Amino acid sequence: MAERPLSPHLSIWKWGPHMAVSILHRVTGDGMAIVGLFMLLWWLGALASGPEYYAHFSDWMGSPFGYVIMIGLTWAFFNHAASGIRHFVMDAGAGFELDTNRNWSWISMVGAVVLTAAVWAYILLR
């Protein structure tokens, strides 16, 4: 029987930004689904429970912990959207060249941070 080649292992591949973007795309999608759903359900429950409980919810969201959660969800949204656009372009058959792929990976990661900072600067400074 002939020796069949084995699949490349992670130790063979050179780590690059395209791998980080792919992993972050999955993580941010799951994070938005889990944390975002929890926050939505908590908000709806607080809204339905009356002014006292809604004030409790508002206090939590106005605390530093609440800001970390909301800024994290905003970053997850922009990161997932930017890498989703990158994946869409690659599904169309473009952007597979190494330099192009690497550049668009960095652009999607940095763009998510810049867009998150812009949105929160607008929210906090208006």
DSSP per-residue letters across the chain = -PPPPPPPPTTTSPP-HHHHHHHHHHHHHHHIIIIIHHHHHHHHHHHHH-HHHHHHHHHHHTSHHHHHHHHHHHHHHHHHHHHHHHHHHHHTT---SHHHHHHHHHHHHHHHHHHHHHHHHHHHH-
> Is 80 annotated in some ligand binding site?
yes
Residues in the annotated binding site: 80
Q: Known binding site for heme: residues?
A: 80
